[in-house]
A and B are shown apart, each in its own frame.
Chain A
Amino acid sequence: MAGPVLEMRSISKSFPGVKALSDVNLSVAPGEVHAICGENGAGKSTLMKVLSGVHPHGSYEGEIRFEGEPCEFRDIRASERRGIVIIHQELALVPYLSIAENIFLGNEHARRGIISWHRTVTHATALLKRVGLHENPHTRVADIGVGKQQLVEIAKALAKEVKLLILDEPTAALNDEDSRKLLDLILELKAQGISCIIISHKLNEIARVADSVTILRDGRTIETIDVRADGISEDRIIRGMVGRDLEHRYPDRTPEIGEVALAVEDWTVHHPIDHQRKVVDRVSLHVRHGEIVGIAGLMGAGRTELAMSVFGRSYGRWAGGRVLLDGKEIRTRSVPEAIGHGLAYVTEDRKQLGLNLADSVSRNISLGALGKVARRGWIDEHEETRVAEGFRRSMNIKAPSVFAQTGKLSGGNQQKVVLSKWIFSGPEVLILDEPTRGIDVGAKAEIYTVIAGLAAQGRAVLVISSELPELLGMCDRIYTMAEGRLTGELDRADATQESLMRLMTVSAATENEQV
């Protein structure tokens, strides 16, 4: 038997302040489908970026061998020339160009810069046939569905004489029907001798197509399972994926839990563009005063979409459900309404959605509740500064002064500014979306203390997090979501990383099979 088509040995990669990969090994045999599993942030995407040259040679340690030869890719084009093609989760197609134009974008059939349309169209037609897409190559990509766009991406890869195809969560945006077709196509390509790496956290999918599975956790290889020899064991995969250390110090708290503060009933949200797709599907949940409740789920589970939609319908199209505060139904159709009822939403994307990075710390803190530092529409700058200075001290925001530009602070301090802003708005219910993403350990501990303090004041706190130890360490109760639906609810005492992960990886397809 021939050696592996791809070997990655002892790959380590650091970003400022974080070690994303340490000593990762990956070996892909010719003509196999190799799945990579891991939690959000386990290092899957980083590993693929190293392989495809997005992180160029020299920016990581370790060795890559492809078809037995060492590779030092300087950019994506270099890896593509060798036949390694990556298809990202967010499709990289130009919506207003035709299918044929997209397939050969950057790789045109041309002579001296003049495109040969005849060759382009005939070749595109042949490739479309190969991936089983019955569309006119002149159709604009914007006019076909996501499932078909995914096939165009694969045709584009085939046009580059692909030998190793990498698919990053290929079915995340697809419905069951399209997912099935895509997986069939992967098996077909495998039969044609194309090796494939598939990143996925849908265990039923992996069971269907994968020949072997490599599990990553915290930037390390945990194990590689040979499915043909060992069979596939969901328990083994889940055990490998979780099991992060629980060594964080979480503040000790004795929760004093009161009446139900926020209740969401049968909340359904459709995708903002694809109105057929349910991103959140009949979700009901509640949080009590003084309680910290977690929502666990993997990428695409619909947690952020749920939160943003409840907070003034800031995401997607609302398609049903109601919100109750202290037992009374409230209107939250716009953000000002939601804020008026005492809701606060701390976004997971603080740079894009949370802060005005060009402006000062004090102006960011006051923005959510300017009325509190103003009289009849006129801001009392002295009062505003005093408030901001208070938060700078109490939240320990490390900034030269409250007039410092927010964009120049570190991630942890920016997060404290966002938190201060929403605490200043005086909410009854806080929804914190990934409150500790991308910040250092010291700042994390400080933020946990702040969250515990909010609950102790009788406020209801809903925490969305991808870090299971964080949820287990902080929350009184944890909901799990998968594919837009609530899949479980566990008390702190009953929850373990394994039990949560099992509920997070339930997919509609497996459930249907069980019924």
Chain B
Amino acid sequence: MAQTETTQPPASAAPGPDQGGSRGVGALLARALQGNIRQYGMLLALALIVVLFQIWTDGTLLMPLNVTNLIQQNSYILILAIGMMIVIISGHIDLSVGSLAAFVGAAAAVMMVRHDVPWPLALVVALLIGAAAGAWQGFWIAYVGIPSFIVTLAGMLLFRGGTQILLQGQSVAPFPKGFQKISSGFLPEVGPHTNYHNLTLLLGLGVLVVAVLQEVRGRRQAAGYGIELLPTGFFLAKLGAIAAAVLVFTLLLASYHGFPVVLLILGALLVGFGYLMRNSILGRHTYAIGGNEPAAKLSGVKSKRVVFLAFVNMGVLAALAGMVFAARLNAGTPQAGINFELEAIAAAFIGGASASGGVGTVLGAVIGGLVLGVLNNGMSLVGVGTDYQQVIKGLVLLAAVGFDVYNKRKAGS
């Protein structure tokens, strides 16, 4: 590092980024998208895939029955993707979630079917088992310092073996009706008889109002901070798009059996963890550790504890996913959850996670999971074999991350 202050005339200003810049709408839009380009990109890609398959399947994709199916089929992957995103943000990875989901599902099955444990109690115990398994792995990773790849690879074998021991190689079924509802249930019908499911309409309306209010509030705050805003026209278009999406989705659900219970769980997780990662000290510390761990430590962040908690949380979510999957299958089986970890990891990366940590959002993980889910569902509907489905999903993952790497290099950061 050379410093030749005597030879340099005092520069009037540091060569920082330009503040005025071009005023074109395109540039403005580009700037507004900047940083979120991957997420907006994925949202666009998701919309594109939906439209494509909607045409391709002659409208089958967005039939009310199929939409409900899509949610129920992908719910457990989305639950895993939320936890996986947090683990990846902290700079780690978890390969054990598929096995852990199977193990917890098996444990719950044994409790309910063989020992007649009431299902709500079994559910709570199962979540605690998940937390304990997460704590076990988090301990080795955070406090002992074994790389997460190794610890969770071991966990993958450990929990898979444990599943087979618990079930002795057989499926255990059937479950109490109440338990099955976790995956296949719907919210109850209320009010007068219409052609639609009333409660679903109400919920949809609620979501619509909250979403629009949030957007307006965010825009007003941004204006208060003096940040460049999207032009009003674009903003209204964005609001319209959000409203349309929510309305269409609500009507689709309401014209079938209504609001699936599992969607309620997913929605709560999405909102809860989204808020946690964005607005809590714990969430902020997670980003800081993934972004630059030495700097975070020197800022007083207790990085070991944060990483430990990320894995405990992953354990609980893996347990929940295991319950949902078991409830859907109505059985605990030794083959449950195979390759779930890979789907969840792919969802997180498609949804904007960075391989080195510190970047990503919970919403992104859900979008990434939906991209995979719609691809799966759509390709099955048009009759693409599972062999080609895997090839295509692999390419999508590579393209999504490749696009991101290319973008970052272009931005020079």
Residues in A with CB closer than 8 Å to B295 are: 347, 352-356
CA–CA, A440 to B362, complex, Å?
Answer: 40
- The A-contacting residues of B in range 251-295, CB under 8 angstroms, are 278-282, 284-285, 287-288, 291-292, 294-295
Q: Is B17 an interface residue (CB 8 A)?
A: yes
**Residue on B with the closest CB to A249?**
B10
With a 10 A CB-CB cut-off, give which of B15, B16, B226, B278 has the most chain A CB atoms. B16
Known: A378-B279, A441-B11. A41 touches B3 (CB 8 A): yes
Which chain A residues lie closer than 8 Å to B1 at the CB level? 40-41, 437-438
User: In the complex, A377 Cα to B6 Cα: how many Å?
Assistant: 48
Q: How far is the CA of A353 from the CA of B301 in the complex (A)?
A: 13
Within 8 A of B (CB), among A340-385: 345, 347, 352-359, 363, 366-368, 370-371, 374, 377-379, 381-382, 385
* Docked-complex contact B10 and A442, CB < 8 angstroms: yes
Assuming the A-B contacts A353-B295, A379-B279, A381-B279, are A467 and B15 also in contact, with contact meaning beta carbons closer than 8 angstroms in the complex?
no
- Expressed in whole angstroms, the Cα–Cα distance for A327 and B257 within the complex equals 73
A255-271, CB under 8 A of B: which get 1 and which 0?
A: 00000000000000000
| Interface contact B13-A18, CB-CB below 8 Å | no
Tell me which residues across on chain A come within 8 A of B278, comparing CB atoms. 381
- Cβ 8 A contact of B14, one of A21, A358, A413: A413
Q: How far is the CA of A42 from the CA of B4 in the complex (A)?
A: 8
Given A41-B2, A399-B17: A22 touches B35 (CB 8 Å cut-off): no
CB atoms of B17 and A356 under 8 A apart: no
CB distance B284 to A363 under 8 Å? yes
Which residues from chain B contact A385 at a C-beta distance below 8 Å? 225
Q: Is A316 an interface residue (CB 8 A)?
A: no
The answer to the question of B232 belonging to the interface, with a C-beta cut-off of 8 Å to chain A, is: no
Which residues from B are CB-within-8-Å of A438? Answer: 1, 3
Compute how far the CA of A410 lies from the CA of B19 in the bound complex, rounded to whole angstroms. 13
B298 at the interface (CB under 8 A from A): yes
Query: B297 at the A/B interface (Cβ < 8 Å)?
Result: yes
Contact B280 A379 (CB under 8 A): yes
How long is the Cα–Cα vector from A250 to B301 in the complex, in angstroms? 35
The reply to whether A358 and B2 form a contact with Cβ atoms under 8 Å apart is no
Chain A residue with the shortest CB-CB distance to B35? A405
Query: Please, which residue of chain A has its CB at the minimum distance from the CB of B34?
Result: A405
Is chain B's binding surface mostly helix, strand, loop or mixed?
loop
Known interface pairs A18-B8, A379-B279; A408-B299 also in contact (CB < 8 Å): no
Check if A106 is an interface residue, CB within 8 A of chain B.
no
Contact status A407-B413, CB under 8 Å: yes
B12 at the interface (CB under 8 A from A): yes
A252 close to B (CB within 8 Å): no
With A352-B292, A371-B281 known as contacts, the answer to whether A410 contacts B15 (CB < 8 A) is yes
Q: Is A122 an interface residue (CB 8 A)?
A: no
The 8 Å CB contact of B281, one of A46, A336, A353, A379, is A379
- What count of chain B residues pass the 8 Å CB interface test? 47
CB–CB A367/B284 < 8 A: yes
A185 within 8 A of B: no
A46 x B358 contact (CB < 8 A)? no
The docked-state distance in angstroms from the alpha carbon of A445 to that of B284 is 33
Q: How many Å lie between the Cα of A408 and that of B15 in the bound state?
A: 10
**B15 contacts which chain A residues (CB < 8 A)?**
16-17, 410
Identify the closest chain A residue to B301 (Cβ): A367
Question: Does the CB pair A219–B2 fall under 8 Å?
Answer: yes
Q: Which of A247, A358, A407, A440 has the most CB of B within 10 A?
A: A358
Q: What per-residue 1/0 map shows which CB atoms of A138-180 lie under 8 Å from chain B?
A: 0000000000000000000000000000000000000000000
List the B side residues contacting A356 at CB < 8 Å: 287-288, 291-292, 295-296, 358
List residues of chain B with CB within 8 A of the CB of A18. Answer: 2-4, 8
Q: Is A339 an interface residue (CB 8 A)?
A: yes
Tell me if A359 and B16 are in contact (CB < 8 A): no
B294: chain A residues at CB < 8 Å are: 352-353
Chain A residue nearest in CB terms to B18: A400
With A357-B291, A382-B221 already in contact, the answer to whether A19 and B284 are too (CB < 8 A) is no
Convert A111-148 into 0s and 1s, putting 1 for each residue whose CB lies closer than 8 angstroms to a CB of B.
00000000000000000000000000000000000000
CB-based nearest A residue for B358: A358
Q: How far is the CB of B408 from chain A (nearest CB, A)?
A: 10
Say yes or no: A218-B7 contact (C-beta < 8 A), given A370-B281, A405-B413: yes
Q: Does A403 contact B (CB under 8 A)?
A: yes
Structural contact, B358 and A359, CB atoms closer than 8 A: yes
Interface 1/0s, chain A 385-424, versus B by CB < 8 A?
1000100000000111111110111111100000001000
- Tell me the A7-41 residues at the B interface (CB within 8 Å): 15-22, 40-41
Bound-state CA distance A311–B302 (Å) is: 15
CB neighbours (8 Å) of A399 from chain B are 16-17
Q: Mark A298-338, 1 if CB is under 8 A from B, else 0.
A: 00000000000001101000000000000000000001101
Which one of B3, B227, B287 lies within 8 Å of A437 (CB-CB)? B3
CB neighbours of B354 from chain A (8 A): 358
CA distance A334 to B22 in the complex (A): 48
B residues less than 8 Å from A359 (CB atoms): 287-288, 291, 358
Question: Is A181 at the interface (CB under 8 A from chain B)?
Answer: no
Q: Kindly report which residue of chain B lies nearest to residue A411, judged by CB atoms.
A: B14
Contacts A358-B359, A399-B17, A405-B413 known; A440 to B4 CB distance under 8 Å?
A: no
Contact at A335–B280, with CB atoms within 8 Å?
no
* B300 close to chain A: CB less than 8 A: yes
**B300 engages A339 (CB within 8 Å):** yes
Q: A15 — which chain B residues lie within 8 A by C-beta?
A: 2
Given that A347-B298, A398-B16 are contacting pairs, would A442 and B11 also be in contact in the complex, using a CB cutoff of 8 Å?
Answer: yes
Return chain A residues, CB-CB under 8 Å to B358: 356, 358-359
Please tell me if A444 contacts chain B, counting CB pairs below 8 Å. Answer: yes
What is the CB-to-nearest-CB distance from A350 to chain B, in angstroms, rounded to a whole number? Answer: 9
Contacts of B280 in A (CB 8 A): 374, 377-379
On whether the beta carbons of B299 and A368 are closer than 8 Å, the reply is yes
Residue of A nearest to B291 (CB): A356
Q: Is B16's CB under 8 angstroms from A410's CB?
A: yes
Query: Contacts of B297 on A, CB cut-off 8 Å?
Result: 314, 335
Q: Is B387 an interface residue (CB 8 A)?
A: no
Report the nearest B residue to A398, measured CB to CB: B16
Contact B7 A22 (CB under 8 A): yes
B340-370 contacts to A (CB < 8 Å):
354, 358-359
Complex alpha-carbon distance, A339 and B12, angstroms: 35
Assess the A357–B3 pair: CB atoms within 8 A: no
Among A335, A377, A378, the residue within 8 A (CB) of B298 is A335
Bound-state Cα–Cα, A311 to B4, Å: 31
A493-507 interface (Cβ within 8 A of B)? none
Residues of B within 8 A of A16 (CB): 15
Query: In the complex, which of the residues A370, A389, A411 has the most CB atoms of chain B within 10 Å of its own CB atom?
Result: A370
Contact (Cβ within 8 A) A19 B296? no
Please give me the residue from chain A that is nearest to B15 by CB atom: A410
Q: Is A248 an interface residue (CB 8 A)?
A: yes
User: Does B5 sit at the interface, judged by CB under 8 A?
Assistant: yes
A328 to chain B, nearest CB (A): 21
Given contacts A368-B300, A385-B225, contact A442 B12 (CB under 8 A): yes
Point out the residues of chain A lying under 8 angstroms from B9, CB to CB.
441
Shortest C-beta distance, A339 to chain B (Å), equals 4
Nearest B residue to A373 via CB reads B281
Question: Which B residues form the contact surface with A (CB < 8 A)?
Answer: 1-17, 19, 35, 221, 225-227, 278-282, 284-285, 287-288, 291-292, 294-302, 354, 358-359, 413
With contacts A20-B2, A244-B6 known, what are 13 further pairs, Cβ within 8 A? A19-B7, A245-B6, A247-B6, A345-B298, A347-B295, A352-B292, A352-B295, A353-B292, A356-B296, A367-B299, A378-B279, A409-B16, A412-B14
For this complex, 26 residue pairs linking A to B, each with C-beta atoms less than 8 Å apart, are A15-B2, A17-B8, A21-B2, A218-B6, A219-B2, A335-B297, A335-B298, A336-B302, A339-B300, A352-B294, A354-B298, A355-B292, A356-B295, A363-B288, A368-B300, A370-B284, A379-B279, A379-B284, A389-B225, A399-B17, A408-B413, A411-B14, A413-B14, A438-B3, A441-B8, A442-B14
- 9 closest cross-chain pairs (CB), A and B: A356-B291, A20-B2, A410-B14, A398-B16, A441-B10, A339-B300, A336-B300, A412-B14, A368-B299
